[in-house]
Amino acid sequence: MKISIIGAAGSVGAPAAFYLAAKGLADEVVMIGGRKQNVLKQHAMDLSTAVSAMDMVIRAGDYSDMGGSDIVINAAGAPQGVIADRMEMLPKNISLCEGIATQVKQYCPDAFFITATNPVDPLNYATFLAGDFDRHKLIGYSINDTFRFKEMIAKAKHARVSQVDGLVLGEHGSSQVLLFSTARVHGQNVSFTEEQKQSLRAGVPNILKGYEELKAGRTAGWTCAIGLEIIVRAIVEDQQCVIPCSVVLDGEYGLRNMSMSVPVVLGREGIVDIIELDLADDEMAGLEKTVATLRPAMSIVETSLSSANQ
């Protein structure tokens, strides 16, 4: 199993490289960077030593070294200051993702492609259009929202997170839809007061705001590493498990020409199934809101790529 990580010097790519290697999910990990080549090389040297007893190849490389990759993770992003919303990163990152999609299509066209660059939904769609990828092998990383939802359910219900289930649908951003109908504690349905729902709806999407206020210059790298390992393991081990991912829709939920987070079944063939849930009335209203938020971003992607190809 060969995994290539683009943006591997960054705060998402570097932890992902470490965790995937430490968990033994690859025989070879190629770390590809941009501006920070010395940082990239140092990470590769350090990680190679860290997992040396596992007889794994860890190396820094460029796009041409992706050849033969089974999985490619794009964690690269344009330099960005403090932001209030992930969508602020869209204009700078469209052309970056277009270029990366072209390189992946050239060197490893059959690889599974995981988009882990924000804003993930429109950029996953941009990657789909730019690279003409099979949508079942193109996965946008959005599981962090579900991690946070489950964490806050646990606090509200005085339970352990390991005892909690729940899913988040829609935008990986402020209009995400918390699916209270999927919430379970010890496998049992749980109810929420309207006050609790409003508190969670305000709290989960605002995690980003808390990060940005610290001005630490990094993002949820450790969380992303855990989530990316879950996705990669599901593919490698053909787990056929349900994971929320941003995927390009073609009629599911009555939607087309966009990517957003929905529950999918992941296995060796990639996205084996897209699960269409029966939503409660307030959840359906939330879905309509998140679609209204995402549509303009998808249009920006289409216009940008169309202009670039003229």
User: Catalytic residue numbers?
Assistant: 172
Task: For residue 13, say whether it is annotated as part of any ligand binding site.
Answer: yes
Rounding to the nearest 10 degrees, give the CA dihedral for residues 26, 34, 136, 280: 110
Q: What is residue 186's DSSP assignment? A: T
Q: Listing from the earlier edge strand, what are the strands of the sheet with 177-185?
A: 164-169, 177-185, 188-189
Pairing of strands 112-115, 138-141: parallel
Helices 194-203 & 144-156 angle (0-180, nearest 10) = 140
Gap between the Cα atoms of 284 and 286, Å rounded: 5
Task: For residue 8, say whether it is annotated as part of any ligand binding site.
Answer: yes
* Of the candidates 157, 149, 125, 155, the residue with the CA atom closest to the CA atom of residue 139: 125
Cα 208 to Cα 28, 83, 86, 118, distances in angstroms: 33, 9, 9, 12
* Three-state SS sequence of 147-167: HHHHHHHHHHCCCCHHHEEEE
Q: Which residue type occupies 73? A: I
Task: For residue 93, say whether it is annotated as part of any ligand binding site.
Answer: yes
Task: For residue 33, say whether it is annotated as part of any ligand binding site.
Answer: no
Q: Which residues are annotated as a binding site for NAD(+)?
A: 7-13, 93
Q: Which residues are annotated as a binding site?
A: 7-13, 93
